[in-house]
Homo-oligomer: A and B are copies of this chain.
Amino acid sequence: MSSVITVDEHRARILAATTRTALVRLPLAEAVGRVLAEDVVSRWPVPLFDNSAMDGYAVRGVDATKGAVLRVVADVPAGSALDPTIGAGEAARIMTGAPTPSDADAVVPLEHTDLGTVITADAPATITVTREPTAGAHIRRVGEDAPAGAVAVTAGTVLGPWQLSAIASAGHARVTVHRAPRVAVVSTGSELIDPAGTPTRGQIPESNSVLLAAAVRSAGAEVVTVTTVADDESALIAQLVDLEADAVILSGGASVGAFDVVKSVLDGTGTIEFGPVAMQPGKPQGFGTDDAGRLVFALPGNPVGVAVSFEMFVRPALLTMAGRSVIERPRVTRAAATGWRCPVGRTQFLPAVIDADTVRPATAGGSGSHLVTSLALAHALAVVPADVDRVDEGDLVEVMVLS
């Protein structure tokens, strides 16, 4: 893999090696963001029983003519197990959602009686009907929404708050989902110091592990370890041994330099290969499956290159592992608010800001991969094809929207 390959080729190689994680059964509260692995069927009809759609009075329709005075003989709150007998000229006070008595065939809402809309704590002795109900009025029938055994939520659904609610309503407290991918983040480089430290000549603050760990979590995966290691082969090897992870993301040391320890340790291990990808930033890339079956992403060391590489290669793989079918960021087309230069022969991914109708570089004056301050402002990546050498003001540009 020493010849240059395209972004699409590298991505296809990654996705071909990516498999879904194992299935686990989780309580609903822990399943947010996971992908449902099998259809969830309702354990019962929905609604579960005939119930009132309104606060009001359950009646025998034949009695509830306009002006009729009915004796209130029972009170049926929501959750009540009562099934009171309703005789001629009688009614039961009933709350929304409460089971309608077997003797009743309609509900007269509060506001169709002489009692207005506000119920008092104690039930009245009688009510006067001010509007006659139609047959079956305001009764939700058992199973009218769905029969027992109906599929409530289909396999492949990404579980958000609403979907989890529907699963609980279908009678399930746990679900079978693809386990969250477990990811180790390893930042490499002898030049890296803690951001709060004081750099001496040649040292720079370590920022990639923060970016990658946050990005992994934002993609719904689990971060198992975050470490920084020096450019030392034995230190790196020690770090990688026994990692309980589905994927390892390394940054730094992937280029052609003599001190590129990540490459020297990993190149040729399992199916791992290193080589240039025709993109800016992010040219030096390594990828493959190690002997333990973990996906290994070796990204370049500069922060913008890391950000772009995560978006283009790691995130789609993590979403695929998690069972998602939609793994692409949405893309829009916008006119460039200003011009900028692009490298010929490499696809450019430029941290960008989308204004109302236009897109512009997040930092004016440069597209270099070292312009980390551009990351602070960017919420998108402008994607410029490899055969374009410059974008002029007004040119239409494709933009990946990240938030």
The answer for the CA separation of A306 and B161 in the assembled complex, in Å, is: 11
Q: Assess the A29–B372 pair: CB atoms within 8 A.
A: no
How many chain copies does the complex carry? 2
Q: Assess the A123–B29 pair: CB atoms within 8 A.
A: no
- A173-B195, A205-B169 given; A119·B211 CB < 8 A: no
Contact of A194 among B160, B173, B208 (CB under 8 A): B173
Interfacial chain B residues near A391, Cβ < 8 Å: none
Interface residues of A in 149-193 (CB under 8 A from B): 150, 152-154, 157-158, 160-174, 189-192
Interfacial chain B residues near A153, Cβ < 8 Å: 376
Q: Assess the A201–B168 pair: CB atoms within 8 A.
A: no
Q: Is A96 an interface residue (CB 8 A)?
A: yes
Q: Is A295 an interface residue (CB 8 A)?
A: no
Contact of A161 among B48, B211, B351 (CB under 8 A): B211
Q: Is A88 an interface residue (CB 8 A)?
A: no
Q: Assess the A255–B217 pair: CB atoms within 8 A.
A: no
Contact of A2 among B2, B95, B118, B226 (CB under 8 A): B118
Q: Assess the A81–B202 pair: CB atoms within 8 A.
A: yes
- A79-B192, A153-B376, A207-B169 given; A97·B302 CB < 8 A: yes
- Secondary structure of the A contact surface, majority rule: loop
A interface residues, how many (CB within 8 angstroms): 110
The answer for the CA separation of A153 and B375 in the assembled complex, in Å, is: 9
Q: Is A7 an interface residue (CB 8 A)?
A: no
> Which residue of B has the minimal Cβ distance to A164?
B210
A12-20, A57-65, A256-264, A382-390: which lies at the interface: A256-264
> Which residue of B has the minimal Cβ distance to A378?
B162
Q: Assess the B169–A303 pair: CB atoms within 8 A.
A: yes
Task: Return the 10 tightest CB-CB contacts between A and B, nearest first.
Answer: A79-B191, A168-B207, A165-B211, A166-B376, A79-B190, A161-B214, A162-B375, A173-B196, A161-B215, A77-B259
